[in-house]
Amino acid sequence: MAYQNIRIETRDAVGLITLNRPDALNALNSDLIDELNDALAGYAGDESIGCVVITGSEKAFAAGADIKQMQTMSYMEAYLGDFLTSWERVSEQRKPVIAAVAGYALGGGCELAMMCDFILAADNAKFGQPEINLGVSPGAGGTQRLTRFVGKSKAMEMCLTGRMMDAEEAERAGLVSRIVPVSELVEEAVSVGNKIAGKSMPIVMMTKEAVNRAYETTLSEGVRFERRLFQSMFATQDQKEGMAAFAEKRKPRFANR
């Protein structure tokens, strides 16, 4: 598939996807989402890739779903076409996906970032769910994921007023893992991605599953799930190698098995 709305490149073991609709502040139309899903599927099947980074430009990660594309959509088109469901593919990835957010992450842009495993924010990042100003509410997980990230009070205020929050507020509220200078954002995200890719891939995937389970189940079920996964790790070569390397005071050489 030839991409018109994203750029992809490989940086060592990281697949870097750059949203690339500069004239529309990376507004997310259906072609862009199709291309994003195609790129993610390619990385999922590529054993040399251990982590994916999704980023935008310095001005905008993404300013939301494409309002001009949605403007004339009918209910039947939205419902029968199952509008927005294909966006969830990002959250279904088994390998880690990092959002590197600079500039605007609004509406669907904020929702896309929250579908990733964690968000690294540039110091100029701005997050918001301004759909209320358009006569709609968030539709790609905003009311659910933002509430889990930042709690009811702040999520409710953001969704009802449409106001933006800057990077510092987002870090304080737990929406982003860290803030880095905008000029270093992509390099830092790629470096973190390569650090993750240097671990044992099956253990990384199981760890991601375990953390995500915390959002979907009770504490006791989640702890039981984590313990069963932990026990299963003793069947991997990488557990033997990782612990042997520690005892022998050397770096582990993971086989991803």
Kindly state the smallest distance separating residue 123's Cβ from ligand CAA, in Å. Answer: 18
Identify which of residues 167 and 206 has a Cβ nearer to ligand CAA in the complex. Answer: 167
DSSP assignment of 206-237 = HHHHHHHHTTTS-HHHHHHHHHHHHHHGGGSH
Kindly state the smallest distance separating residue 125's Cβ from ligand CAA, in Å. Answer: 12
The CA distance from 103 to 63, in Å, is 9
Catalytic residue among 24, 62, 63, 65, which? 65
The CA distance from 69 to 71, in Å, is 6
Kindly state the smallest distance separating residue 115's Cβ from ligand CAA, in Å. Answer: 11
Which residue has tokens 């927005």?
84
Identify which of residues 47 and 82 has a Cβ nearer to ligand CAA in the complex. Answer: 82
**Phi, psi (deg, nearest 5) at residue 29:** -100, 175
Task: Give the list of residues 6+ apart from residue 223 with CB closer than 8 angstroms, or none.
Answer: none
Interface with ligand CAA by CB under 6 A: which residues?
24-25, 27, 63-68, 84, 104, 106-108, 111, 130-131, 134, 138-140, 142
Q: Is 120 exposed, middle or buried (0-12, 13-18, 19+ CB in 10 A)?
A: buried
Identify which of residues 111 and 238 has a Cβ nearer to ligand CAA in the complex. Answer: 111
DSSP assignment of 107-120 = THHHHHHHHSSEEE
Active site residue 131: yes
Kindly state the smallest distance separating residue 162's Cβ from ligand CAA, in Å. Answer: 8
Active site residue 128: no
Catalytic residue among 111, 141, 142, 197, which? 111
Q: What angle do CA 206, 212, 214 make, to 5 degrees?
A: 115
Contact present, 61 and 20 (Cβ < 8 Å) = no
Kindly state the smallest distance separating residue 22's Cβ from ligand CAA, in Å. Answer: 9
Active site residue 193: no
Identify which of residues 142 and 193 has a Cβ nearer to ligand CAA in the complex. Answer: 142
Task: Give the list of residues 6+ apart from residue 23 with CB closer than 8 angstroms, or none.
Answer: none
Active site residue 111: yes
The CA distance from 120 to 85, in Å, is 25
Identify which of residues 53 and 140 has a Cβ nearer to ligand CAA in the complex. Answer: 140
Catalytic residue among 15, 56, 107, 108, which? 108
Catalytic residue among 50, 102, 131, 197, which? 131
Catalytic machinery residues = 65, 108, 111, 131
